Amino acid sequence: MVGIRRGVVGKASYSLFALARNALSYHEDWREAWRSPEPKKHYKVIIVGGGGHGLATAYYLARVHGIRDIAVLEKGWIGGGNTGRNTTIIRSGYLWDESIALYEHALKLWETMSQELNFNVMFSQRGVINLSHSVHEMREMRRRYEAVRLNGVDIEMLSPSEIKKMVPIINIDPNIRYPVMGGILQRRAGTARHDAVAWGYARGADDMGVDIIQNCEVTGFRRKADGAIEGVETNRGFIGADKVGCVPAGHSAVLAEMAGFKLPIQARPLQAMVSEPVKPCIDTVVMSNAVHMYISQSDKGELVLGAGTDSYNSYAQRGSFNIAEHLMAATVELYPITSRLRMLRSWGGIVDTCPDASPILSKTPVPGLYFNCGWGTGGFKATPGSGHVFADLIANDRPNAIAAPFALDRFRTGYLVDEHGAAGVAH
């Protein structure tokens, strides 16, 4: 990324001059992107989870709120969790006003992220198409289309012929098992490089003094006599904190039980795979909820394929063979030219899903302890928006207007934000 670093202090910016200077030493003298410090005894804020959401939270706490005495604790390595195990789709075309506000906030931050972080996250606004395969689904799509438009967000309805023009490899024969009857398109949506997002936020947070501590697993919480949070127990000893924000993705329920309460959440595997590289053949993202598959093409030429969630609960980063088989059958039917491709690799992530398929951004029964979880299959697209509003919640001890609908209290009041249909993947 060639540009000027704004609003941060510390290491020199990536620039054309820096590239030329380091070329003289065969690029062997670049400094580490972030430090690997030993944990201090106490921090003002601890963020549990070094994925995209956790690192974004730490970055915005430092960047926006001026809180720099922060530690991000990651039990593995940066980018090794769900951040590096997804299909990188970004969009904001959800159904309910609350969801649209949250994901559109994130999309706007995506549009300036590379310049903000002085790090190329390879955000590509190639557009995202959601297919419809039945009359009922077309009606649901029309409802979502109108809801998105009423919120002032870009979206278009497409006919089968318009979809075929954008995606020449798609099969729109009306006699196939799931005929393409139309769809919706968000042109500002697209993809980004998942691990680059984690690296960019890690570098930006580190520049402002945030300690990023890898291989540091949280094993418990310590509370004061009045019940408030005192700090976390880890495999590297106790670390005290005034406030603790938990962003552990699929392991949210595990950490909540450590803290003494339960979350209305379930963890399941979500599979994806990529084909061998081929020449460019699809320059957008196409999602199909009815047949549980979505497809895009990476910058390396691989076809990136995703499926629906497995039906069983698990913390394993792998899924069932029948899900992969169903995904490939749907892919070959909708995109016949893929039948001769070989699968290069597959993987699974752990998605944590709430009863209404919407996230939790909330204070908890433990004073000073906050949770950011329940993103289901929508976590990557929300990364910057999630970090931004969660940082605001931690800093001010109250949710802002965007985060407020996603508090834990909604499961008591019944004011749910039901996004099962608009999530893009059947839960």
Q: Does 370 lie in the same domain as 334?
A: no
Q: Which two tokens stand for residue 364?
A: 């908890």
Q: Does 171 lie in the same domain as 139?
A: yes
Q: What is the pLDDT of residues 283-306, one digit of tens each?
A: 999 999 888 899 999 999 999 999
Determine the angle formed by the axes of helices 52-63 and 194-207, rounding to 10 degrees: 30
Cα separation values, 72 from 33, 44, 315, 402, Å: 15, 12, 22, 24
Q: Does 347 lie in the same domain as 271?
A: yes
- 3 state DSSP class of 41: coil
Bridge partners for 62 per DSSP: none
Last residue of a domain, one of 335, 353, 371: 353
Q: What is the pLDDT of residues 163-212, one digit of tens each?
A: 999 999 999 999 998 999 999 999 999 999 999 999 999 999 999 999 99
Amino acid at position 203, single letter: R
Rounded CA-CA distance 309/268 in Å is: 7
Q: Does 257 lie in the same domain as 346?
A: no
Q: Does 104 lie in the same domain as 228?
A: yes
CATH of the domain at 395: 3.50.50.60
Bridge partners for 120 per DSSP: none
Residue with tokens 């500002």: 188
Q: Does 321 lie in the same domain as 229?
A: no
Bridge partners for 246 per DSSP: 48, 371
- Residue 409 in any domain: the answer is yes
Last residue of a domain, one of 353, 381, 400: 353
Q: Does 309 lie in the same domain as 239?
A: no
CB 301 within 8 A of CB 341: no
Rounded CA-CA distance 156/185 in Å is: 5
Rounded CA-CA distance 79/70 in Å is: 19
Q: For residue 16, what pLDDT is reported?
A: 84
- Residue 240 in any domain: the answer is yes
CATH of the domain at 307: 3.30.9.10
- Residue 298 in any domain: the answer is yes
Q: For residue 309, what pLDDT is reported?
A: 87
Domain span holding position 324: 128-187+267-353
Q: Does 158 lie in the same domain as 99?
A: no
Last residue of a domain, one of 309, 330, 353: 353
Tens digit of pLDDT per residue, the chain (427 long)? 333 333 344 455 788 888 888 888 888 888 888 999 999 999 999 999 999 999 999 999 999 999 999 999 999 999 888 888 889 999 999 999 999 999 999 999 999 999 999 999 999 999 999 999 999 999 999 999 999 999 999 999 999 999 999 999 999 999 998 999 999 999 999 999 999 999 999 999 999 999 999 999 999 999 999 999 999 999 999 999 999 999 998 899 999 999 999 999 999 999 999 999 999 999 999 999 888 899 999 999 999 999 888 888 888 888 888 888 999 999 999 999 999 999 999 988 888 999 999 999 999 999 999 999 999 988 999 999 999 999 999 999 999 999 999 999 999 999 999 987 666 554 4
**Euclidean distance between the first and final Cα of the chain, in Å?**
37
Q: Does 334 lie in the same domain as 216?
A: no
The total number of structural domains in the chain stands at: 2
- Residue 24 in any domain: the answer is no
Looking at beta carbons, which pairs linking 26-29 to residues 24 or more positions away fall under 8 Å? none
- Residue 273 in any domain: the answer is yes
CA-closest candidate to residue 88, choices 193, 17, 158: 193
The pTM assigned to this predicted structure is 0.93
CB 129 within 8 A of CB 184: yes
Q: Does 260 lie in the same domain as 271?
A: no
Q: Which two tokens stand for residue 193?
A: 């490089």
Rounded CA-CA distance 158/86 in Å is: 27
**What is the SS3 assignment for 316-345?**
CCCCCHHHHHHHHHHHHHHCHHHHHCCEEE
Q: Does 244 lie in the same domain as 258?
A: yes
